[in-house]
Amino acid sequence: MDADSYAEMYRPGTGDLIDERYELTESLGKGGMAHVWRAREASAGREVAVKFLRHDSEALYALDPHERAAELAVRHARFRREATLLGTLDHPGITALYGSGSHRGVPYIAMRLVTGVSLRTFLDEHTPLPPATAIAVAVQVAGALACAHTLPVVHRDLKPPNIMIDDEGAAVLIDFGIAKPLRADATRYTAHGSTLGTRGYLAPEQLLEREPTARTDVYCFGCVFYELLTGRPPFPLGADAGLTERHLYEEPLPPSLYAAGIPEAIDDLVIRMLAKQPGRRPPVDEVLEVLAPLGPQPGDPEPRPRTHPDPTAPLRRPADRTPCAFRAPCEPPATASAAGEEEWLDARAVELLCTRAESEIAAGESGEATGRLRELAERARGEWGERRPLVRRVWRGAADGLRLAGDFGSAARLYQGIDDGLLHGDGPAERAERAVVRLRLAECRLAFGELETAVATVDAAGHTAAGLPRELAIQVESVRHEVDVQLSARFADTNDRGGPGT
């Protein structure tokens, strides 16, 4: 179909029945890319949101026919990708996908209807927020973002209008329209010279049209969190001149200079989230780890002044919500331990399980044994402490299994845990193991597009190997070579594509 034919295509209207399934009841609004409707799903008896790709926006009609056709093709591809991503993201803070398809030539996505207000509206009505309320929103957004980053997927357009506060106070991350998987083979849909995102919430690398990473979302999230805490973004939009330069070069002031009651730990976290270099920003897992203890806890009193909705309610009264609503991001449910129902772990049984897992890993597989180690990791550390070598062996097996299974986010957390707390001493064996663990962590981070970190880790491992006995050096160099090959492939892919993409 040529581009001009889109002008004659279907436009949704009240009462329309979409694919004999969704009856449109009310327009909820439209932007340049999509039009969202409230609808009733007859078979399930529930209200849903149906999002249609727009083909009639002014921006499209401003293009010549050839450009319009190309842009429409890109929009269709992005829309299909959004549906695919929503189908893989299972978290209460992300809109659930109910279905997708095409109705009379127009693509649509049906998803959970979030009733409430956008964070933009919420801030406009309630600024300044009590610190507890600001942190409550941030904790919930961080959980949703951590789920996306585990895949890994980067949202790329975090801003107050793309966060909803539902009627019960839960924060929900919406609009994955320009989200991007960070796999090396992910299709890119924007040519060099295009910058995606929203002014005032763009990371420096987005402004410079460089490859996005998970830390790109952390910067945008930092801008949103700053506004939650202070009622203003770190670099306000008032004066257009110099806004880009401020995001690129100016250091933000601590939020506590603009609002009272902000703990020093929050000041430090926000400033690190807004670091100009992506590698200096904390991963979202660390953001969540810092925020969770500082936010509202079960049984806490309602903050003053009151807000409606109340974003602290899901954290203060988790029992009032569905049982799974605030589970750990993208974590599988707990299952029975490998050691059965015994009161204490059997060290011999765990050693045998490690041996089986290591055989699976040597064969390049992630099987039952590595999965059982994952279930045992925290329990083993809790029972045996952080210095017992068998604990480290359990964590290594679990991390290696997750890495082979492609769950790079979960594997990275375990490798980081080994490096931070389970590796002790500075003998040759410890230095070799530390180098290998850091290389595997860098390999996981490659999936998130963090090339510079991987380069530094590969170089550091080379220096470490040079000072080790031959047998240990060979072990480090073997893993170092694996990671270096992947790193070279990522650089070659970036160069072949001619720069940034989406």
Strand locations in 322-479, DSSP E? Answer: none
The amino acid present at 473, given as its one-letter code, is A
Long-range residue pairs from 52-56, CB within 8 A, at least 24 positions apart, any chain: 52/12, 52/103, 52/106, 52/107, 52/108, 53/79, 53/106, 53/107, 53/108, 54/30, 55/6, 55/7, 55/9, 55/106, 56/6, 56/7, 56/11
- Here the tokens at position 498 are 């001619």
Residue with tokens 């203003």: 232
Residue with tokens 């969770």: 292
pLDDT for 196 equals 57
- Here the tokens at position 363 are 């064969």
CATH of domain 347-496: 1.25.40.10
pLDDT for 482 equals 92
Q: How many helices (H) and strands (E) does the chain have?
A: 17, 11
Structural domain boundaries in the chain: 6-112, 116-185+193-320, 347-496
pLDDT for 325 equals 37
Q: With beta carbons less than 8 A apart as the criterion, state whether 395 and 377 touch.
A: yes
51 annotated as ligand-binding? yes
In angstroms, the CA 380 to CA 392 distance is: 9
Asked if CATH classification 3.40.50.2300 holds for the domain at 6-112, the reply, yes or no, is no
DSSP-assigned states of every residue in 168-213:
TS-EEE---TT-EE-STT----S-TT---S-TTS--HHHHTTPPP-
pLDDT for 158 equals 93
pLDDT for 452 equals 84
2 is known as an active-site residue: no
pLDDT for 493 equals 63
Given the residues 124, 157, 267, 300, the one annotated as active site? 157
pLDDT for 55 equals 81
Residue with tokens 């380069």: 455
Is there a common fold for 6-112 and 116-185+193-320?
A: no
Low-confidence ranges of the chain (pLDDT < 50): 1-4, 6-7, 184-187, 189, 191-194, 323-342, 498, 500-502
Query: How many residues can be counted in the chain?
Result: 502
Burial of 486 (0-12, 13-18, 19+ CB in 10 A): middle
- Closest by Cα among 179, 37, 19 to 94: 179
pLDDT for 361 equals 92
pLDDT for 311 equals 96
CATH of domain 116-185+193-320: 1.10.510.10
pLDDT for 185 equals 46
- Where residue 325 falls (left for φ over 0; alpha for ψ -120 to 50; beta otherwise) is alpha
